[in-house]
């Protein structure tokens, strides 16, 4: 299961961030935000590299 909420067992990162903020644990929330930002930037960078390599193989006019 990629996303879900079985009470006390599963959840998403956004749910986890919301829960730790409600508990007042801003340091843990900040760590989760940094983790998701790093993952997001890595995915975007990988997609750009993949797209650039595909565009080089296309013949131009």
pLDDT tens per residue, range 7-60: 777 778 888 899 999 999 999 999 999 999 999 999 999 998 888 776 666 666
pTM assigned to the model: 0.67
Q: State the pLDDT confidence band at 5, using cuts at 50, 70 and 90.
A: low
CA–CA dist 19, 25 (Å, integer):
9
User: Hey, what are 24's tokens?
Assistant: 């007042």
Whether residue 3 has pLDDT greater than 80: no
Flag whether 8 is in a domain.
no
Question: What pLDDT, on the 0 to 100 scale, is given for residue 58?
Answer: 64
CA–CA dist 52, 12 (Å, integer):
32
Flag whether 34 is in a domain.
yes
Domain count, the chain: 1
Flag whether 2 is in a domain.
no
Question: What pLDDT, on the 0 to 100 scale, is given for residue 29?
Answer: 95
Q: How far from chain centre, in Å, is Cα 38? A: 7
Flag whether 29 is in a domain.
yes
């Amino acid at each position: 299961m990629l996303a879900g909420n079985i009470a006390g067992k599963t959840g998403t990162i956004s749910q986890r961030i919301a829960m730790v903020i409600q508990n007042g644990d801003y340091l843990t929330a900040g760590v989760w935000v940094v983790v998701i930002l790093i993952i997001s930037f890595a995915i975007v960078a990988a997609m750009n590299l993949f797209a650039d390599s595909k565009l080089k193989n296309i013949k131009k006019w």
